Structure 1
Amino acid sequence: MDSVEAEHGGVQPVLTALKGTPAEIAPSTYYAQKSRPPSARSVRDQILVEQIKEVHVKNLEVYGARKVWHEMRRQGHQVAKCTVERLMRAEGVRGVTRDKHPRTTKPAAETERPCDLVRRDFTASRPNQLWVADLTYVRTADGWVYVAFVLDVYSRMIVGWQVSISLYTELALDALQMGIWRREHASQDVAGLVHHSDRGVQLRFKGS
């Protein structure tokens, strides 16, 4: 009620308004509570909160209650795991949630599958002879992102890539088109290029 006193010039109007209601508070009860010193538990909780926040910040704010508790124990702080959980919840301190790994390949048996033009022979004797494509995912602070990339087998260089928060069919095609544009922009010949990808529907387009 301290804020009420500051804004309205005293707590008495509030106590008067509450009189006769289920929330009625006797003036003596209010002033006794206000003058009472902090309990030993509240004092210790405040110390623990500072220690918890320090551990959380030093670990890039990714630790949840279990890891914070383990770290505090390693530092010699005697505290129960449930206490750490309670204080973190009260202070709104959270770790990074471990999401389930997303799927990058979605088979589609009903569509035509291009032939394997390289017959599993992933070698090349010159640049722009064979490119291979793949999809992967990366976890960021804001969630999972998908990355499609195309690699030149001869140089092991990534020639094209594309990043998206959703897995759409054109993602891999955009990465391929980027690679072709970059090589053509550098006046390199891509005639006869073979592009190889897996059998996921996102990567299913014919190389030539």
Structure 2
Amino acid sequence: MSFAFIHGHRHEWPVERPCRVLQVSARGYRAWTSRPACQRQRTDLKILVHIREHHALGNASCGRPRMTLELREAGPVVGERHVGRLMKDNGIRPVRTRRHKVTTDSHHQTGIVANLLDGDFPADRPNRKWAGDISH
């Protein structure tokens, strides 16, 4: 994690300064930059190519579950959480085509009933305070 930070800011400061502050060696950072990608990173890149291709072909309408099904049909065997992680990390989001239909009229003409209890629910005797809820 510290090497990634140093790599991201290597154009702002000399490499030795953030290495000294983060207490890592500059030699370790240079070894980290020259190290080849691990097997998981290579697999992720291959799957990401497929995800971007299907995302572009599907008019950006595929979410994680459908993208997983399409990838399994195309070849690579992947899990839904793996696809979701790759999509989230790379900013690939489905575009919703339907708008949300509003069913509540908040601008009605009737008045709003006063809140008589105002959060004071305990009663001194039974049958003194009644409350109801009509939400559905």
Q: Shorter chain as normaliser: what TM range?
A: 0.5 to 0.7
Corresponding residue number in structure 2 for 1:35: 34
Judging by fraction of residues, say which structure has more strand: 1
Is 1:63 the counterpart of 2:62 in the alignment? yes
RMSD: 2.9
Offset at residue 75 of structure 1 (A): 1.9
Offset at residue 59 of structure 1 (A): 0.7
Corresponding residue number in structure 1 for 2:116: none
Cα displacement string for residues 71-119 of structure 1 (whole angstroms, at most 9, x for unaligned residues): 111223201111100100011000124664323989x797xxxxxxxxx
Offset at residue 15 of structure 1 (A): 1.8
SS at match of 1:94: coil
Corresponding residue number in structure 2 for 1:86: 85
Q: Is the 2:19–2:26 Cα contact (8 Å) retained in structure 1?
A: no
> How many angstroms apart in 1 are the aligned matches of 2:24 and 2:39?
25
Structure 1 residue runs of 4 or more that deviate by more than 6 Å after TM superposition: none
Q: 1:27 to 1:104 in 2, by over 3 A?
A: closer
Q: Is the 1:49–1:87 Cα contact (8 Å) retained in structure 2?
A: yes
Offset at residue 17 of structure 1 (A): 4.7
Cα displacement string for residues 33-62 of structure 1 (whole angstroms, at most 9, x for unaligned residues): 112111111111111111001111111001
Q: Is the 1:15–1:24 Cα contact (8 Å) retained in structure 2?
A: no
Corresponding residue number in structure 2 for 1:14: 15
- Percent pairwise identity: 25
Q: 1:63 to 1:51 in 2, by over 3 A?
A: same
Rg larger in structure? 1
> How many angstroms apart in 2 are the aligned matches of 1:24 and 1:105?
60
Gaps of 5+ in 2: 1-6, 111-136
Q: How many residues align?
A: 102
Judging by fraction of residues, say which structure has more helix: 2
Gaps of 5+ in 1: 111-208
